[in-house]
Amino acid sequence: MRRIAVLTSGGDGPALNACIRAVAREAFHHGLKVYGVRWGYKGLINGEIDELTSRDVGGIMNRGGTFLGTARCPEFKELKVRRTALRQMNQEGIEGLVVIGGNGSLAGALALHEMGFPTFGVPASIDNDINGTDMAVGVDTTLNTILDAIDRIKDTAASHQRAFLVEVMGRDCGYLALASGIAGGAELILVPEHEGPSLETIADTVVEAYTRGKAHCILVIAEGWKPGTQAVADYLSARKAELGFDVRVTVLGHVQRGGRPSAYDRLLATRMGAYAADHLIDGESGQMAAMRGNVLESFPLAEAVKTLKPLNLALLGLSEVMD
Amino acid sequence: MRRIAVLTSGGDGPALNACIRAVAREAFHHGLKVYGVRWGYKGLINGEIDELTSRDVGGIMNRGGTFLGTARCPEFKELKVRRTALRQMNQEGIEGLVVIGGNGSLAGALALHEMGFPTFGVPASIDNDINGTDMAVGVDTTLNTILDAIDRIKDTAASHQRAFLVEVMGRDCGYLALASGIAGGAELILVPEHEGPSLETIADTVVEAYTRGKAHCILVIAEGWKPGTQAVADYLSARKAELGFDVRVTVLGHVQRGGRPSAYDRLLATRMGAYAADHLIDGESGQMAAMRGNVLESFPLAEAVKTLKPLNLALLGLSEVMD
Amino acid sequence: MRRIAVLTSGGDGPALNACIRAVAREAFHHGLKVYGVRWGYKGLINGEIDELTSRDVGGIMNRGGTFLGTARCPEFKELKVRRTALRQMNQEGIEGLVVIGGNGSLAGALALHEMGFPTFGVPASIDNDINGTDMAVGVDTTLNTILDAIDRIKDTAASHQRAFLVEVMGRDCGYLALASGIAGGAELILVPEHEGPSLETIADTVVEAYTRGKAHCILVIAEGWKPGTQAVADYLSARKAELGFDVRVTVLGHVQRGGRPSAYDRLLATRMGAYAADHLIDGESGQMAAMRGNVLESFPLAEAVKTLKPLNLALLGLSEVMD
Amino acid sequence: MRRIAVLTSGGDGPALNACIRAVAREAFHHGLKVYGVRWGYKGLINGEIDELTSRDVGGIMNRGGTFLGTARCPEFKELKVRRTALRQMNQEGIEGLVVIGGNGSLAGALALHEMGFPTFGVPASIDNDINGTDMAVGVDTTLNTILDAIDRIKDTAASHQRAFLVEVMGRDCGYLALASGIAGGAELILVPEHEGPSLETIADTVVEAYTRGKAHCILVIAEGWKPGTQAVADYLSARKAELGFDVRVTVLGHVQRGGRPSAYDRLLATRMGAYAADHLIDGESGQMAAMRGNVLESFPLAEAVKTLKPLNLALLGLSEVMD
């Protein structure tokens, strides 16, 4: 192999730049040329592919986002579209591809592998919903961003005796809500994977926190939990008189995706990026880098994308005990 | 004077604890007893007043919020209610009151002063809308919190070629939007004090940023600007096809009020709190601490609450040049 | 079991408060009384033991340090001294002890266990040198603190074309140097576990970085590496004329131990503290909580303290490739 | 005027990039070409001068350091050397120069002005020692960096009952020590401008803090204070037995110069940079941008560099009262 390409795809997140850098430097170390694909699979199809120099990947490790850009590309599910992508890489003499992204992006890498093109994945998804790895790139920084917000909200909540509904990202996966809720000392955590208490029981939790003399009451809610943050807010304001606490809602939104990556994420992204490039060059394909304990292993993309990683629901119990 | 009280009132913000500490320590230094009033004027009326020890105000300087609690108290405009407050202080032998808060809170202090009770104010309002002082307590930390969010949003905006509408606090005053917009390099800033461009012109700004090759486009919008953030979002999505950028909205919300205070705010709060206690004890009343350049002066509460501090609209022009 | 105690011992670090809180709340949940021991084993010997209420452990999760205090206590190796400790606990009716600390502290817990007193450990050491667990409490926050310093130093280094020797904690263990060096993009990492290059080769690395056009050159050095940071500084200044870069030294010092704990550390400390209390109450003794992947397990204290956890020296190779 | 240049000179600090950007964008707005000089006056002499594009100054506002580089250049005091500089600018058709830096750098700008070449200064010095302006660029960020370190050190100090000597930058000027000491709640602040207490009295302060039950004792010492941090450390360790607290020393070092600039600094740097370019283009020379309250004014360089800005020693008294 003499030339490989790297792309970031799907939703962005922290430490993608650190990961691109690691892929490139590992490949340089093996004497290869490295190409950066702009805007994920979209750019791959359109041939937005440029050679990366060592300088291109210098000084980017501590920057949020991805300098290659990213995009969602649902049409990559079509065989015809993927053939266009292969033709583009062929024209540049590219013989392997590292894909950094979440489940959809890794499914794309798997599809290329099944068409006979060497690919290797790096799991990057702030939701930590990718099967086969303890952690995905970007999760740790996002957790710290959410926790920073929760700590701030607790300050204002305690100053006014308020209950806050804090909505965090996670359409199908409650990992961010669960982990930040425990780390932030939330009174209640609501995740898509678990039906959770009724609106009535939620209101009782708020009342109970007030009665126990708590200075504030924080509910962390994943955006994918049903019936949703607004339903809780509406229900609580209908029972306002009983609550003790005033209720406010904060939807954290896109701040969760940006920011200078944490030490954990930079180390993880660097290790995974180097692993992916190294193993791709060594002839492995259709795999992704997976962290198990402190050790990196290869994990089949076919397994990774088959299901979402299940949430450790035992931690919900821990959060109740800690409350 | 042998006993004074201190309260925080109105919306909370950073560095209130540092300010309470300074009031208390200055008064201790003069040999006085100091009383903390819980929940602002509400607690004053209800007699929620406790003596503060040196230990009570130790270790609080770096914590967000106010450990005394705060509340809005519209009924304090009634003479009868204020008489109750005076009676409560009388019962405890309290002879002076430091009020830390925004325009409404300082108006309460003025009213007590006009009833013959010695009061002194400290301007604390994240909006920086209090007349007579260059800066109010809490503004600087809030600006840094907003800027941190804008920096994060720029990361994700650039990764996806998106335009973001970032709504920040400021119902009547655009200071936070203006200052954070300049410090964050926003393409457009919309404030209540200035009609601003039409929706059409706003859309043109977004298109132009795209055409000029900008990686992202950030609009910082004060919550009090009319016709409002949602109106911009709706208009832009109706013209989606022309924009180049995808559009997203983030409403920062209550995270803006909390957090560990900045160096600037701790220094300002400490200086102003000590000044207020010192001058109250010295017999001044109906004044507030006002920062002019690097010097503290007394400024009449009657002047401070008469009007909102006008925004330096010349800075809007600067933001356009810097864009 | 009806009463357990908890102490923090040895060098302090982040997230100890979160861990104490978790021990206490888990025990409360089981209906037990919980006692906090002040100043580690020193306080245990002197009977500085107080019952903890739920309020005592509220609002402490996001604070650095340990509100119980900590100390080194070499005399705890003496049987006679440990007998005094057991007598003190006996007098209070305490039937089990959770020890939060590093190797020396856990050895103390093991010694008490071997005397028949139920103990359970939580590995807390910023050095990440405790055998049997992937991570110890406090490591992640400390890494982020170091990384923040390295990022700042890179700014000033690049502005002046300087090489910096950054000395970080780690007398016997280079984990902090290694992980922060990779996450910070250091040109060279020197750790006690590995002899490393000669002074001459180190100088060559600096020259080479300059020649390759690097804007700066960062060397991260563990304090326990021989011949030491100052020896490098002296050698480099003797060869100043050849280097290209000016050389500066920064010893990070005790800032590495403090600070608001990271999300990772709060989650780890909470899970480990709850695990320790739960298993101690269930009758386990002489064990510590150990994180393996995402799962907590019991690990024998006798194994944990036998050797230091070996450093993953393969990561040194990664750092060279990434440079 | 059709072409101006900009340089950063002397010690680096935060927000220099934001200032360069503002100079450039203001000049672009006036239709000028802008040239960036590398490595301060050194690069000016050597002709390291490149035209800056709008893209060159995009995305740099939130980065520490100066992308132009900086250097000290004592030889710029020589007339012959300055003539070389003028010739270099002449060759490029450059008709004016904005100098961003401290007293030495501004003296260079004054000297060029006195030779008839149009110059305008921006006061940038983390020491806040420049006469005529309330604040200099970089001070606020540095204060926050120091405060972050002090907060961390207090955590570990309280956990171990220690006294810490924290040495901060400031060879001739104690502003950073004074402001960070007050904001950080230090027990004692030692600055070059004030002889301060004897070593014996310093030791008494430590003893007294212990006796009063303080959890820790923090002394903030400017590096230029005599007899120096080490002398205090030595004296205190000789009287170790009486102190109560163990004593530790932390020298913060170069971390103080780097880091993402604060909101205050970005706003100040942007306003000052734009002001400097605007007034230089308008024909003013030999002046610098000076902040007075919230208003920018021109201030003669001849006045600015004549003396160091005096420290507000009244704040030392405040720090004693607050302790």
Judge contact between D216 and D162, C-beta under 8 A: yes
CB atoms within 10 A of CB D93: 10
Say if CB A229 and CB A202 are below 8 A apart. Answer: no
Residue A7: pLDDT over 90? yes
Helix, strand, or coil (residue A186): coil
Q: In the sheet that D3-8 helps form, which strands lie side by side, from edge to edge?
A: D49-52, D33-37, D3-8, D96-101, D119-123, D287-292, D295-300
pLDDT category at C323 given cuts 50, 70, 90 is: confident
Residues in chain B with pLDDT values less than 70: none
Confirm or reject contact between A56 and chain C (CB < 8 A).
no
Averaged pLDDT, D235-257: 95
Same fold, A3-138+261-304 and A141-254: yes
D322 → closest Cβ in B25, B55, B322: B25
3-state secondary structure B84-124: HHHHHHHHCCCCEEEEEECHHHHHHHHHHHHCCCCEEEEEE
pLDDT band for position C58 (50/70/90)?
very high
Average pLDDT over residues D7-26: 97
- 3-state class (DSSP) for residue C3: strand
Residue C250 token pair:
């920064």
Among candidate residues A137, A132, A106, the one with its CA nearest the CA of residue A17: A137
Contact between chains at C263 and A146 (C-beta distance less than 8 A): yes
Cβ–Cβ < 8 Å for B177, B313: no
- For D140-257, CATH gives 3.40.50.460
In whole angstroms, give the CA distance from residue A15 to residue A65: 7
pLDDT digits 0-9 by tens, A33-72? 999 999 999 999 999 999 999 999 999 999 999 999 999 9
Tally Cβ neighbours within 10 Å of residue A244: 17
Which chain B residue has the Cα nearest residue A154? Answer: B258
CA distance linking residue A305 with residue A321, whole number of Å: 34
User: Under CATH, what is the fold of the domain A141-254?
Assistant: Rossmann fold (3.40.50)
Q: Is C159–D65 a contact, with Cβ atoms under 8 angstroms apart?
A: yes
* DSSP one-letter string for B273-322: HHHHHHHHHTT--SEEEEEETTEEEEEEHHHHTTSPPPP-THHHHHHHHH
Both structure tokens of C36: 């906090």
Tokens of C245: 């870069």
| Chain B CB within 8 Å of residue D22 CB | yes
Q: Are B249 and B167 in contact (CB under 8 A)?
A: yes
3-state secondary structure of D111: helix
**Beta strands at D287-292 and D295-300: parallel, antiparallel or unpaired:** antiparallel
d(CA B286, CA B128): 20
Rg value, chain C, Cα: 22
Q: Are A64 and A259 in contact (CB under 8 A)?
A: yes
CB atoms within 10 A of CB A237: 12
Q: Please say whether the beta carbons of A274 and A101 come within 8 A.
A: no
Q: How many CB atoms lie within 10 A of CB D201?
A: 10
Which of A14, A66, A164 comes nearest B254 by C-beta? Answer: A164
- Residue in B7, B8, B148, B159 to test binding to A, most A beta-carbons within 10 Å: B159
- This prediction has a pTM of 0.98
Among A264, A296, A309, A319, pick the best mutation site for testing chain C contact (most C Cβ within 10 A).
Answer: A264
Identify the CATH assignment for C3-138+261-304 out of 3.40.50.300, 3.40.50.450, 1.10.1060.10, 2.40.420.20.
3.40.50.450
Task: Determine the pLDDT at residue D323.
Answer: 86
At the topology level, CATH places domain C141-257 in Rossmann fold (3.40.50)
Where do the structural domains in chain D lie, given as residue ranges? 3-138+261-304, 140-257
Region of A221 (left: φ > 0; alpha: ψ -120 to 50; beta: rest) is beta
- Provide the annotated active-site residues of B: 127
Tell me how crowded residue D42 is: count the other CB atoms within 10 A of its CB: 21
Residues sharing a CB contact under 8 Å with residue B319, sequence separation 6 or more, in sequence order = B178, B181, B182, B186, B189
Residue D4 confidence (pLDDT) above 90: yes
Cα B12 to Cα B70, B133, B237: the distances in Å are: 7, 19, 35
ipTM higher than 0.85?
yes
Q: What is the DSSP string of D199-255?
A: HHHHHHHHHHHHHTT-S-EEEEEETT-SS-HHHHHHHHHHTHHHHSSEEEEEE-GGG
Residues listed for chain B = 323
Chain D 202-231, residues with CB within 8 Å of chain B CB atoms: 213-215
Per DSSP, the three-state class of A309 is coil
Cβ contact A130:C253 at 8 Å: no
What is the C-alpha end-to-end distance of chain A, expressed in Å? 55
Chain D residues whose beta carbon lies within 8 Å of the beta carbon of residue B59: 215
The pLDDT of residue D84 is above 90: yes
Q: What is the CA radius of gyration of chain A?
A: 22
Of C61, C183, C267, the CB nearest to A266: C183
- Condensed to tens digits (0 to 9), the pLDDT of residues D260-298 reads 999 999 999 999 999 999 999 999 999 999 999 999 999
Q: Percent of chain A having pLDDT more than 90?
A: 99
Tell me the three state secondary structure of residue C322: helix
Q: What is the CA radius of gyration of chain B?
A: 22
CA distance B228 to B191: 10
Chain A residues near residue B137 by CB distance under 8 angstroms: none
d(CA D24, CA D6): 8
DSSP D53: P
Report DSSP state, residue A283: T
Instruction: Determine the distance in angstroms separating the CA of C195 from the nearest CA of chain D, rounded to an integer.
Output: 28
- List the one residue out of D260, D64, A55 whose CA is nearest residue C214: A55
Task: Tell me the H-state helices in chain B.
Answer: 16-29, 40-46, 79-91, 103-114, 139-160, 175-183, 199-211, 229-238, 240-243, 263-281, 301-304, 314-322
Distances (CA, A) of A68 to A7, A120, B159, D303: 7, 18, 7, 50
C180 touching chain A per CB within 8 A:
yes
Q: What is the mean pLDDT of the segment spanning D4-15?
A: 97
DSSP per-residue string spanning D139-202: HHHHHHHHHHHHHHHHHHHHHHTEEEEEEES-SS--HHHHHHHHHTT-SEEE-TTS----HHHH
CA proximity to D255, closest of D64, D4, D83? D64
Distance, CA of D232 to CA of D204 (rounded, Å): 12
